Structure 1
Amino acid sequence: MKRDEQELASSFGRAATAYAAHRPDYAQAAVRWILDTAPGARVLDLGAGTGKLTATIRAAGGAVTAVEPDPAMLAELRRELPDVPALAGGAESIPLPDGSVDAVLAGNAMHWFDMGTAGPEIARVLAPGGVVAGLWNVVDDRIDWVAGLARVSGSAAIGPRDTPDSWRVEAAGIALPGELFTAAEQATFEHGQPRTADSLVATLGTRAGMLVMPADERQAALDRIRAFLASRPETADGEFTLPMLTCVLRARRADGPR
C-alpha cells in the first residue's frame, strides 16, 4: 500500500465516534444475497470499523464475529454491539482458526487490503464452499440533486468507489487470487439513509479524504456542501433520504461446490 493510501486507511480512528454516529448501514438484501450462497451462518466481518455491517449481518441471521485493526474503531464497535465477539486484527493476519467461518464480508474495506497477503488468509479461515464478499455503499448519482452534490463535494468527500460507475471500475481492479477463489460476481441493491443537511455534512466529514485535509480546506469544503444543500428544495428543510446503492463483489472459495 502506498504512503498516501496508508494515511487514508489509518485516518478513521480519529473520527470513530462520528463514524459510528453518521455512517450508513448496508442494505439487508445485499447481505442476504451473499449469505444465501454460504454453506452456513458463521460470518466474519473483516475490517469491521464501528460495526455498521456487523449489525446488518446479525439482523440478517448471521452468527457474526468482527475483526478490526484500529483500536478506536474497535472500542466503538464493542460499545455499540457488546454481545458480538470483536477481535483486534486485520485482513493480512486474521485471528481465527482454519475453516472457522462460512462467509467473510468486508464493508467499505476490501480496497484497503493487501490482497496478495489477505487473499490466502481469507481462504484459510473459510470453510469449503465459503463465500467472500466486499460491500460498498455509494451515492446514487442517477438522481439529479445527488449528482450535483457529488460535483460540489469534490473527490475528497465523494470520490472513487462513491458513485456506481466509479465503483464498478474500482471493483474490477480488486484482484482476488484466481487459484483460491472463483470469478467474482457483481450486484447492486437499492438503499437509503435518513439525513438532514447537518447530518449529511457530518457524514461527508467522516470520509477518509476529508479527514486528512488541512483544517481550513476541510472547513471550506464542508461550507460549500452546506450551501449546496440549503439551495436545493429536496434537502433545504427537515429530514430527507439520501439515495444510495449497496454494491457487492462476491466470490467463493475455489475448492468448494460451484
Structure 2
Amino acid sequence: MTSLSRAHSFNAAAAQYAANRPSYPPSVLDAVAEIAGFPLAGARVADVGAGTGIATALLRERGAEVVAVEPGDGMAAELRRALPDVPVVRGDGNALPFAAASRDLLTYAQSWHWTDIARSVPEALRVLRPGGALALWWNTDSADIPWVVAQEERIARACGVEQKGRRRPDDVRAGRVTGLDGLPFTRRLLRWSRTVPLDTHLANITSHSAFLVLDEGRTAEFAAEERAVLGGLFPSGLVEETYVVDLLVARKP
C-alpha cells in the first residue's frame, strides 16, 4: 500500500475523522506564537493539509487570517461544512498555491509527513516572508503508559504494520527527518490528555490510515476485540487518552 493511497484513504472517512480525532491544547498555539515571535491575531496563516479543519479552527479562534489548504475532496467538503467562513484552497505542501513571501506562518498539523521534504521545505521558504515561521506538530501517543503500549502492539498485529519505535527521536534526528536541520528551529514536547467515551476512542484509532486501508471486516473484528479488552480496563466506559504534542517551529531568516 503506497503512502499516497494511505493519504487519500481519509477522504472516505472524513466525518469519522472530524467527529472523533483529538484537537490540540492551547499550549500548542501559545508555543507557536512565542517561538515565531509574533502574535497569531492578524497573522497571515496557511494551514496546510488542513483535513477537516481541527487546527484551522483553533487558528481562527486566535484571530489569525487563516486559509486552509487541503488536497482531498472528502476532507475539504467536511472542512467547508464545519468552517463555512474560512477560505479553502486545493493543494498540498509540495506545491503551495500562494505567491512568494505572502504568508507570515505556515502550519502543518498531523500533515507534514505526507509531504516530500525535498520539495515542501523549499516551498515553505518561498511562501514565507522574511522572519516568517513554519510550524509542524503531531499528537503522539505517550509511550510511558502500559495499556497504550499494549494497544499499539495489537494495532500493529491487526494491521500488519511495523510497530512504532518507543524511543522518541532526539532533536538532531527530528530535525533531519523533518528536513528542518538546515534552518534555525525550536522543538517543544507538550503533554496533555482528554477523557472520552470508549466508542469515541475506538472510532478515533480506527480513523487512522492503517485501518482505513484495511478490510472493513478485519477493522470491525479488531474494534470488537479491543472493546472487550478496554472494557475491563475502563469499567466506567470512559477512556483517558494521553498525548504528547511534538512541535517543531522553524524561522525563515
TM range (shorter): 0.7 to 0.9
Deviation, structure 1 residue 251: 1.0
For 2:46 and 2:157, locate their aligned partners in 1 and report how far apart those are by CA, in whole Å: 30
Q: Is the 8 A contact 2:35 2:186 kept in 1?
A: no
Shift of the 31–14 alpha-carbon distance from structure 1 to 2, 3 Å rule, reads: same
Match of 1:10, SS state, is: helix
Match of 1:84, SS state, is: coil
Task: Give aligned pairs, total.
Answer: 246
Q: Is the 8 A contact 1:137 1:247 kept in 2?
A: yes
CA deviations on 1:101-149 (whole Å, 9 max, x unpaired) are 1111101110110111222211111111111121100122312332332
Equivalent residue, structure 1, for 2:45:
43
Give the TM-score normalised by structure 1: 0.86
Equivalent residue, structure 2, for 1:239:
238
Equivalent residue, structure 2, for 1:227:
228
Deviation, structure 1 residue 44: 1.1
Q: Is the 8 A contact 2:71 2:91 kept in 1?
A: yes
RMSD of aligned alpha carbons: 2.4
Please say if 1:176 is aligned against 2:180: yes
Please say if 1:26 is aligned against 2:27: no
Letter in 2 for 1:30: V
Equivalent residue, structure 2, for 1:215:
216
Equivalent residue, structure 1, for 2:136:
134
Letter in 1 for 2:28: A
For structure 2, list consecutive stretches of 5 or more residues without a partner in the other structure: none
Equivalent residue, structure 1, for 2:193:
192
Match of 2:178, SS state, is: coil
For 2:188 and 2:47, locate their aligned partners in 1 and report how far apart those are by CA, in whole Å: 19
Letter in 2 for 1:249: L
Deviation, structure 1 residue 162: 7.1
Q: Is the 8 A contact 1:28 1:60 kept in 2?
A: no
Letter in 2 for 1:211: L
For 1:156 and 1:51, locate their aligned partners in 2 and report how far apart those are by CA, in whole Å: 29
Match of 2:244, SS state, is: strand
Please say if 1:77 is aligned against 2:79: yes
Match of 2:85, SS state, is: coil
CA deviations on 1:74-126 (whole Å, 9 max, x unpaired) are 11111111111211111122112221211111011101101112222111111
For structure 1, list consecutive stretches of 5 or more residues without a partner in the other structure: none
User: 1:117-128 counterparts in 2 under 5 A?
Assistant: 117-128=119-130
Deviation, structure 1 residue 60: 3.3
CA deviations on 1:173-214 (whole Å, 9 max, x unpaired) are 122372xxx143321112223311111111111000000012
For 2:202 and 2:193, locate their aligned partners in 1 and report how far apart those are by CA, in whole Å: 16
Letter in 1 for 2:208: R
User: 1:7-22 counterparts in 2 under 5 A?
Assistant: 7-22=5-20
Equivalent residue, structure 1, for 2:68:
66
Q: Aligned to 2:96, which of 94, 100, 107? A: 94
Letter in 1 for 2:191: E
Letter in 2 for 1:24: P
Give the TM-score normalised by structure 2: 0.87
